[in-house]
Amino acid sequence: MEITEVRVKLMDEPGERLQAFCSITFDDSFVVRDLKIIEGTTGPFVAMPSRKLTAHCSGCGCKNHLRATFCNQCGTRLSQQQAVKDNDGRVKLYADIAHPINAMCREMIQERVIQAFTEEKNQSELPGYTPSYDDFDHEVPSAPPTQAPTEPPPVEPIQVQGAEPPRGPHKVPSQQPQPEKSINDGFGAGVFE
């Protein structure tokens, strides 16, 4: 398995620990998005994409974040015993969506991503810089058509005898004759008749 592409999106907030987001492509066929490059005490490191863990409310069954005190749906007080703890005794609030299984794979990803991050930072200082990572690159390019597309045949509207043809929003409605109002056509007219 080989990392064939790394795209980096630098963050603009100076002083923040989150330095960049990135996506990596394996063997030109599989993409993992939303890896984070975070400034640690010994330098930048790569955090895998993750999601917040949730627990179900005992009253209504709605999902809530683990640190929530009350249910978002029904307002019931939630028990604080729901949180799972890791080996160090800390509450585990996030779970990785995608992650390497062994240390060798983690080191390969870390090395390649940090290298691309450094190159991207250097490129960002040059005039005319454009980021390599964009938020809309998930669309798969379509193959060029082999033949010219044909237009579908026009659809004829169905006519119902005696019915008025449909009016679109851009047509002025036809004026229908209005019945004359009598004195008793006001509010509540015809209630006691």
Q: How confident is the model at residue 46, as a pLDDT?
A: 93
| 156-165 tens-digit pLDDT | 655 556 666 5
Ranges of beta strands (E only) in 11-129 are: 18-26, 30-40, 43-47, 50-52, 54-56, 63-65, 94-96
3 and 45, same domain (yes or no): yes
Mean pLDDT of 136-154: 54
35 and 73, same domain (yes or no): no
61 and 33, same domain (yes or no): no
| 68-121 tens-digit pLDDT | 888 888 888 887 665 666 777 777 788 888 889 999 999 999 999 999 999 998
Domain count, the chain: 2
Is 156 part of any domain?
A: no
Task: Provide the residue range defining the domain that includes 37.
Answer: 1-49+97-137
| DSSP H or E segment with residue 7 | strand 3-10
Q: How confident is the model at residue 106, as a pLDDT?
A: 92
24 and 41, same domain (yes or no): yes
Mean pLDDT rounded to a whole number for the chain: 77
As beta bridge partners, residue 95 has: 51
Say yes or no to pLDDT of 154 above 50: yes
Residue 112 phi, psi (nearest 5): -70, -40
